[in-house]
C-alpha cells in the first residue's frame, strides 16, 4: 500500500512540494502510478474522466478556474474531487483558488504547491510513481556484469557462486550484488537487479569473511545496478544426469513474468567455471547479434547427411 504521506516523505523535497491543505488525508492511498491534468474535466465533462489519479493543476487550469463564476467553480471542483482523488498538486507555486482549498479540507484530500513547471512536475512524478509501483522480488544469487551481459549466478549454498564471481571480478568484470539480489521489473519488459544498500559492493567468501570489492579491486569493478540478461545455475556434477552437449535446447526462467535465458552449469574439480561463465556470456552476445553456433552446426550436419544420402542413391 503506497500512501500520499509516503510520497511526500520520500520525494517531497525533490519535487518541491509544500502542503497547504488537507493534512488529515495524508494517509490516503495512491492506487495507480499515474498523474494527470484535469483539462476537459474542469468544463464539466466527466464521462471519460479516470479517477484515482493525482491531479496536477497548471497555469491553464488555474486561469480557467478563476474565469468561472464562483458557484460554477465550486460545482466543477466538487465533481472532480469526488472521484477518489488521492492528492492535488498546484504547479509553478500558483495560489490555489480558495474554493479548491476549502474542498480539499472538507474531503480530506492533501493539497500541495510545487515549485516546478507543470510538464516538468508531471514527468518527474510519473517516473517516480512508476518506479515505486514496479513489481519486485528478492532472489538468492550473485549478479555480475560479464562483457556487458548481466549474469545472475544461482545454485545451492556452498556450490561456489561467490568464488566464481570473485574470479570474474579478478579478470576485470563487475559485481552488482552478492548473496541477495533485488530485482525490479522495468517498463513491463525487462528486469533490473541491484543490491541492498547495506551489503552493496561486499562479498562473503567462506574461509575469508566479508570483503569490500570496491576497496580491493577498485571502483571500476563494481556498479550499482544492471539489467539481468542471463541466469546460470551452478550445480554439483552428477554422472547420472544428462547434460546438453550441443546447445539446441534453449531454456528460460520466468522472473516476474519475464522470460530470461537459463543455463545449467555442472561444476566439479578441474572445470574452469570462470572461463565457462565468460563463454556463456559471449555466446549470449553472439545470439543477440543473430548468430547461433549450435543451430549453424546442426544445419551443416543436416546438409552433410543429405548430401551423402543423395550420393548413395546415385
Q: 54 pLDDT exceeds 90?
A: yes
Q: Give the CA dihedral 156, 158, 162, 165, nearest 10 degrees.
A: -70
- In a domain, residue 313? The reply is no
Query: What pLDDT was estimated at residue 76?
Result: 94
Provide the annotated active-site residues: 140, 161, 179, 245
In a domain, 88, yes or no: yes
What would the pLDDT profile of 152-188 be if each residue is shown by its tens digit?
999 998 898 999 999 999 999 999 999 999 999 988 8
pLDDT tens digits, one per residue of 16-44:
999 999 999 999 999 999 999 998 899 98
Residues 119, 149, single domain; the answer is no
Statement to judge: residues 282 and 159 lie in one domain:
yes
What is the arithmetic mean of pLDDT over 75-99? 93
Of all residues in the chain, the percent with pLDDT exceeding 90 is 73
Regarding whether 146 and 10 lie in a shared domain, the answer is: no
* Residue that finishes a domain, picked among 133, 163, 187: 133
CA distance 2 to 129: 10
H-helix or E-strand spanning residue 55: strand 54-57
Q: Has residue 308 been placed in a domain?
A: no
Mean pLDDT of 63-69: 94
User: Residue 202 and residue 107: Cα distance in Å, rounded?
Assistant: 49
For residue 229, give the CATH number of its domain.
3.40.50.300
Reading the block at residue 187, the C-alpha cell is 517498463
- Convert the pLDDT of each residue in 90-119 to its tens digit: 999 999 999 999 999 999 999 999 999 999
Which three cell numbers mark 94? 500558483
Confirm whether 62 is domain-assigned.
yes
Enter the DSSP assignment of 245: S
Judged against a pLDDT cut of 70, whether residue 139 lies above it is answered with yes
The range of the structural domain enclosing residue 118 comes to 4-133
- 32-36, 65-69, 245-249: range with lowest mean pLDDT: 245-249
Integer CA distances (angstroms), 115 to 13, 14, 121, 266, in order? 10, 10, 9, 57
Instruction: Tell me the average pLDDT across 247-254.
Output: 84
| Contact by Cβ (8 Å): 136, 185 | yes
Residue 314: pLDDT over 70: no
201 pLDDT above the threshold of 70: yes
Comparing 52-61, 173-182, 214-223, 284-293, which segment has the lowest mean pLDDT? 284-293
Same domain as 235, residue 119: no
For residue 270, being part of any structural domain is answered with: yes
| Contact between 247 and 294 (Cβ < 8 Å) | yes
Q: How far is CA 159 from CA 118, 212, 235, 273, in A?
A: 54, 21, 7, 11
Best-predicted range by mean pLDDT among 144-148, 215-219, 286-290?
144-148
Supply the DSSP string of 140-188, one letter for each residue: ESEEEEETTEEEEEEESTTSSHHHHHHHHHHTT-EEEESSEEEEEEETT
What gap in Å lies between CA 286 and CA 199, rounded to an integer? 33
Alpha carbons 307 and 288: distance in angstroms, whole number:
31
CATH number for position 115: 3.40.1390.20
- Res 262: pLDDT: 94
Domain match, 156 and 189 both: yes
User: In which band, very low, low, confident or very high, does the pLDDT at 151 lie, cut at 50, 70 and 90?
Assistant: very high
Give residue 295's pLDDT.
82
pLDDT, residue 304, reads 84
Domain membership of residue 191 (yes or no) is yes
Nearest to 214 by CA among 160, 177, 267: 177
Give me the number of domains the chain comprises.
Answer: 2
pLDDT of residue 98: 95
- Residues 260-288: pLDDT tens digits? 999 999 998 889 999 999 999 999 999 88
Mean pLDDT: which of 142-151, 197-206, 302-311 is highest? 142-151
Do residues 27 and 90 both lie within one domain? yes
Cβ-based neighbour number of residue 164 at 10 Å? 24
Amino acid at each position: 500500500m503506497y500512501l500520499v504521506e509516503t510520497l511526500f516523505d520520500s520525494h517531497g523535497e525533490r519535487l518541491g512540494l509544500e502542503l497547504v491543505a488537507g493534512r488529515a488525508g495524508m494517509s490516503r492511498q495512491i492506487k495507480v502510478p499515474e498523474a494527470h491534468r484535469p483539462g476537459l474535466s474542469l468544463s464539466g465533462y466527466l464521462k471519460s474522466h479516470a479517477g484515482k489519479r493525482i491531479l496536477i493543476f497548471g497555469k491553464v487550469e488555474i486561469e480557467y478556474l478563476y474565469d468561472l463564476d464562483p458557484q460554477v467553480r465550486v460545482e466543477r471542483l466538487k465533481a472532480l474531487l469526488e472521484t477518489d482523488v488521492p492528492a492535488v498538486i498546484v504547479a509553478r507555486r500558483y495560489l490555489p483558488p480558495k474554493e479548491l482549498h476549502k474542498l480539499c479540507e472538507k474531503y480530506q484530500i492533501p493539497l500541495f504547491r510545487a515549485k516546478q513547471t507543470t510538464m516538468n512536475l508531471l514527468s518527474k512524478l510519473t517516473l517516480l510513481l512508476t518506479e515505486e509501483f514496479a513489481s519486485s522480488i528478492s532472489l538468492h544469487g550473485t549478479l555480475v556484469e560479464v562483457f556487458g551481459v548481466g549474469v545472475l549466478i544461482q545454485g545451492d549454498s556452498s556450490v561456489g557462486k561467490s568464488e566464481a564471481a570473485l574470479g570474474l571480478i579478478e579478470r576485470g568484470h563487475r559485481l552488482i550484488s552478492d548473496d541477495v539480489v533485488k530485482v525490479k521489473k522495468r517498463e513491463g519488459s525487462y528486469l533490473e537487479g541491484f543490491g541492498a544498500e547495506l551489503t552493496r559492493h561486499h562479498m562473503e567468501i567462506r574461509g575469508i569473511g566479508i570483503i569490500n570489492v570496491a576497496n580491493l579491486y577498485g571502483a571500476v569493478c563494481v556498479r550499482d545496478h544492471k539489467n539481468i540478461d542471463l541466469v546460470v545455475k551452478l550445480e554439483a556434477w552428477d554422472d547420472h544426469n544428462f547434460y546438453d552437449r550441443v546447445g539446441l535446447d534453449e531454456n528460460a526462467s520466468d522472473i516476474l513474468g519475464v522470460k530470461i535465458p537459463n543455463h545449467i552449469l555442472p561444476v566439479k574439480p578441474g572445470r574452469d567455471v570462470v572461463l565457462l561463465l565468460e563463454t556463456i556470456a559471449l555466446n549470449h552476445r553472439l545470439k543477440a547479434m543473430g548468430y547461433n553456433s549450435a543451430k549453424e552446426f546442426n544445419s551443416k550436419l543436416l546438409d552433410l547427411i543429405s548430401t551423402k544420402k543423395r550420393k548413395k542413391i546415385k
